[in-house]
Amino acid sequence: QVQLVDSGGGLVQPGGSLRLSCAASGSALDNYVIGWFRQAPGKEREGVSCISTSDGSTYYADSVKGRFTISRDSAKNTVYLQMNSLKPEDTAVYYCAAVPFGSYWSTSGVRYWGQGTQVTVSS
């Protein structure tokens, strides 16, 4: 069983930055890839970025490459998503998620979800 608590969302102007946090607890965390999906109003939930808790390998969606950076603090069992150069189209609810290692990074592969945090990019 894994519990995920995500935080750090808010309102920011275009071009601004935010940092999301996902605090993970539970057993066998090294068996999971942890990261974020997001869902904008009227759109499907999409994968944004993830990081392997075992070897640190990362994935980014094309839409966020070069602007977002995912990292982990193993001592705190926390994963961070640093979001820079934010755009209005980044507005969405961001959900922390855990996918078993070896499964596809997709909504169907998610075993555990965080509660979600709202990110709004607007002037």
Q: What is the pLDDT along the chain (123 residues), one digit of tens a residue?
A: 899 999 999 999 999 999 999 999 987 778 899 999 999 999 999 999 999 877 889 999 999 999 999 999 988 999 999 999 999 999 999 999 999 988 889 999 999 999 999 999 999
pLDDT recorded at residue 60 = 97
Give pLDDT, residue 24.
92
Residue 116, amino acid: G
pLDDT of residue 38: 98
pLDDT at 29: 79
Quick one: pLDDT at residue 74?
87
